[in-house]
Amino acid sequence: VAVQLFHSRLEGVLGQTSHVIGVREEADGKYMRPPPESDHIDITSLHVQHMTASDAPSSGEDLVSLSSGPSYCLECSVTIDAGSRNFTLIKCTPCFTTICGAPPRGQGLLDWIKGDRKTFINWLQDSVHGILSVDGVDVPFHVTLVPPYFRRIGHIHADCVACLDDVEDGDDDVVPVKIIFSEVSMRRTRKGSESRRMQKTGKGLTQRRPVGPSPTLMFD
């Protein structure tokens, strides 16, 4: 069977390389679809299942909604409620999910901040006040994020700016602020750090052992 192979090389936001391979079969002649057995099909014999909103899968209800629109395709951003206690995530772009995963509802961006969270809070407040007073002024900030699924792998570094955003619900109690990330990079946790800590702990225990005929434990 003659086939055609298609190959495309893609590079992700974090620099990882992916390869997409497609296969298409080529027929020697025109492919003709066989005609149906009957010209008239009884529509009443077909079983149509109607699905209501309550019957829809509930898997997506536990995740933060995605931002829709052509302008969000390449933008890595997340919209938070700046008036909430932990900066609750409201919506995010697909690019954000490729880096930090699909965040569950109720998660707060403040819980992901690694380091001094007070500095991040002050920066966000100053950014919002600056936007309200002087439109178009962006104050960049370097942030380190540790999403829930990323804690055993490492952490994410990025530069970010804040701007006001709109939400569909229009809740007056919500203060929607969009944080746009750029210069995103990932740093993995060093595997040897844990082994080095174990070696140091082992050496300390060896020094406390009384001198006797029993063999002494040796650590490299």
The CATH number of the domain holding residue 102 is: 3.30.450.20
pLDDT of res. 64: 84
Residue from 104, 105, 122 nearest 113 by CA: 122
| Residue 160 DSSP SS3 | strand
User: Would residue 33 count as lying in a domain?
Assistant: no
User: Would residue 16 count as lying in a domain?
Assistant: no
Domains: count for the chain: 1
Q: Exposed, middle or buried: residue 65 (CB in 10 Å: 0-12, 13-18, 19+)?
A: middle
User: Would residue 98 count as lying in a domain?
Assistant: yes
User: Would residue 203 count as lying in a domain?
Assistant: no
Q: What is the pLDDT of residues 175-204, one digit of tens each?
A: 899 999 999 998 887 765 554 444 444 444
Structural domain harbouring 67: 62-192
User: Model pTM?
Assistant: 0.58
User: Would residue 44 count as lying in a domain?
Assistant: no
User: Would residue 218 count as lying in a domain?
Assistant: no
User: Would residue 20 count as lying in a domain?
Assistant: no
Q: pLDDT tier at 109 (50, 70, 90 boundaries)? A: very high
pLDDT of res. 12: 61
Identity at 138, one-letter amino acid code: D
- Cβ(88)–Cβ(104) below 8 Å: no
User: Would residue 6 count as lying in a domain?
Assistant: no
